[in-house]
Amino acid sequence: MSRFVLVLVVLLSLSCPAFSSVAPDVSVPILLYHRFGPTVADGMTITTPVFESHMKYLHDNGYKVIPLRQLVLWYQGKAAAPRPKSVIIVEDDAHKTVYSDMLPIIKKYRYPVTIFVYPSAISNAKYAMTWDQLRELKKTGLFDIQSHTYWHPNFKREKRKLAPAAYDKLVLEQLLKSRKKLEQEVGGPVDLLAWPFGIYDDHLLLKAKEAGFVSTFSIERRHATAREKQLILPRYLLVNADKEKAFAQLMQGNAVKRNVAY
């Protein structure tokens, strides 16, 4: 092998985790849930029986639910590539039905879950979990607690309202205050961020990096592959209509297009 080719191989392996792990076919769906219940109360609610049917489908069809952190470590070049049929489960908002409805099903299947939390709601809003409940979830060893900013702002709206300096101040406060509060209350590290409403741009990604986040997450409806940038990864925002055949199609990378009212 010539020196030029050898240098090229080294550079590619450093810049692309898929190249170094010989796994160009990595394709992992990140399944995003919000809230649960007996009926569909809003666009973000998945009925508890439908959620359980998802978990059963994963179990019965040979899927391996892996921690979100494992995928991030692979993008960082610090872990082996996820195996075929790997899948990730996450939840945004720490709704109280995570504790009442999601937790028993997760315990049954022993699946790892990452919860993205905006701390202003915890132990304050009637719809949210308490800090004690979040700590209880973490003690199971199945739940990782990460950031969803401090109070779930709409950054597009805030950018229109505020001067550039004030906007940047707000963004950094939302990111840093969330990390600090979550690490104080439930422990860390907290270095993963889900963008509220799926809103992000290059400027926000830069601010997230400055605030110490290693990966952030959108609601772009596709599998995470070797082509992604580590700093912004896609997730499937699931709705109650994503069941049976539609869920099977989603898992195969052929998800039905949805117009979801967030």
pLDDT tens digits for 65-74? 999 999 999 9
Interval 30-40 mean pLDDT: 97
Q: What is the pLDDT of residue 241?
A: 96
End-to-end CA distance of the chain: 54
- Using 50, 70 and 90 to split pLDDT, how confident is the model at 262? low
Who wins on pLDDT, 191 or 256? 191
Contacts of residue 56, Cβ cutoff 8 Å, sequence gap at least 6 = none
Q: What is the pLDDT of residue 148?
A: 98
Interval 192-220 mean pLDDT: 97
pLDDT at 250 over 80: yes
Pairing of strands 27-28, 224-225: antiparallel
pLDDT at 98 over 70: yes
pLDDT tens digits for 43-63? 899 999 999 999 999 999 999
What mean pLDDT, rounded, does the chain reach?
91
DSSP designation for 81: P
Interval 6-13 mean pLDDT: 39
pLDDT at 4 over 50: no
pLDDT at 16 over 90: no
The residue type found at 154 is: N
Q: Which of 159, 149, 146, 230 is nearest to 195 (CA)?
A: 149
Q: What is the pLDDT of residue 5?
A: 39
Give the whole-angstrom CA distance, residue 249 versus residue 257: 11
CB atoms under 10 Å from CB of 4, counted, come to 8
- Using 50, 70 and 90 to split pLDDT, how confident is the model at 14? very low
